[in-house]
Amino acid sequence: MVKLVTIFGGSGFVGRYVARRMAREGWRVRVAVRRPNEALFVRTYGAVGQVEPVLCNVRDAESVRQALRGADVAINCVGILNEVGRNTFGLTQYHGARHIAEAAQEMGVRRVVQISAIGADPQSDSEYAATKGTAEEVILKHVPEAVILRPSIIFGPEDQFFNRFAGVARFSPVLPLFGAGVRFQPVYVDDVAQAAVLAATGKAGPGVYELGGPEVKSFADMMYDMLDTIHRPGRIVVGLPLWFGSVMGWGLDLLQKLTGSLFVNKVITRDQAKNLARNNVAGEDTMGFADLGMTPVALGAVLPEYLWRFRPSGQYEDVRESVGNLRRPQL
């Protein structure tokens, strides 16, 4: 009998890769999202009827129960980086995970995979990290056999990190960074998806896994890698103090609140400034990719595949350079 997995947030950045891999494994895939009409593309990940988007809002317990009904496994990929309207960290990340955990316990779904984040800590001064931590606790309370995956910063074609800064570098000679020295361990999105599939299919034991790529890099170093990839080495990376980022975040958060989210703060929030005060690297005493039998992909192997469009001549940049080399006189 073909098994069924419900992937909450299955059309998002990480979720779509998980959905694709689960379909390749032969599972029926139910993609639970708030706007199914905007997630129709997931149907192409499998045979006709194998992958289906369904309506679900993790803030609503009954909605979660309906999405999980009949499923063998639940994977929670829901997460937000900043609060907009009713999508707060508490309602989305903690209560959403609580609803999934309670429904899984009620329906006998013993295999649950939670996509968390390195730095998740119920005692954190950051709401993002604190609600990620309390979400882990509530998942493990109701489903002790659950698998928690904590990735570092995730990169891939649809990311909002390298794409965002590469877009800025197209027009600005300066890249201002808050927390330029903070260290990350960038991890490829499809590696995180593969880890989630191993957990969902029972090939990974229960527990917490911290997922970091093969390299530890500072924020500034990652920006220099990005600039080299898009062939814009003349751009200047400027580190700015975090206290200034916190003040700016406070002002922009206030503006978002006063405008009723007509203006959305996509620059820096106070909560993001708090997260940039600490390193985002996998712990040495935690399980990771090695325990899953995986070798993660390096940043440099993937960035050129999707950042080429930010080069001065886009997809023709390599051709232009080759022609230039042919025209140079040979000494």
pTM across the whole model: 0.93
Place of tokens 């929670």: 76
Nearest to 137 by CA among 158, 127, 123, 154: 123
Closest by CA position to 13, among listed 162, 176, 166: 162
- pLDDT per residue, tens digit, the chain (331 aa), is 789 999 999 999 999 999 999 999 999 999 999 999 999 999 999 999 999 999 999 999 999 999 999 999 999 999 999 999 889 999 999 999 999 999 999 999 999 999 999 999 999 999 999 999 999 999 999 999 999 999 999 999 999 999 999 999 999 999 999 999 999 999 999 999 999 999 999 999 999 999 999 999 999 999 999 999 999 999 999 999 999 999 999 999 999 999 999 999 999 999 999 999 999 999 989 999 999 999 999 999 999 999 999 999 876 656 555 555 555 555 5
pLDDT at 316: 60
All structural domains of the chain with their residue ranges: 4-154+186-213+281-296
Rounded to 5°, the CA angle 243-269-84 comes to: 165
CA 323 and chain centroid, separation: 39
Query: Quick one: tokens of 134?
Result: 């309390």
Nearest CA among 132, 111, 115 for reference residue 68: 111
pLDDT at 2: 83
Could you count the other beta carbons within 10 Å of the beta carbon of residue 110? 15
What is residue 7's predicted lDDT score, i.e. its pLDDT?
A: 98
Q: Which fold has domain 4-154+186-213+281-296?
A: Rossmann fold (3.40.50)
Q: In degrees to the nearest 10, what's the CA dihedral of 312, 316, 319, 321? A: 0
What is the distance between the alpha carbons of residues 178 and 113, in angstroms, rounded to a whole number? 32
Residue 304 in contact with residue 229, Cβ under 8 Å? yes
Q: For 296, which DSSP code? A: P
What's the token pair of residue 109?
């779904």
Q: Among residues 90, 104, 49, 96, which one has the least CA distance to residue 77?
A: 96
Q: What is the pLDDT of residue 314?
A: 73
Please give the C-alpha separations between residue 317 and each of 162, 312, 324, in angstroms, as whole numbers. 19, 7, 11
Under a CB-based contact definition with an 8 Å cutoff, are residues 143 and 112 in contact? yes
Q: Rounded to whole angstroms, how far apart are CA atoms 154 and 81? A: 13
Q: How far is CA 17 from CA 47, 59, 178, 308, in A?
A: 16, 23, 30, 21
Q: What angle do CA 185, 186, 189 make, to 5 degrees?
A: 140
Nearest to 213 by CA among 294, 278, 293: 294
pLDDT tens string 275-324: 999 999 999 899 999 999 999 999 999 999 999 999 998 766 565 555 55
pLDDT of 320 reads 59
Token pair of 17, please?
């890769």
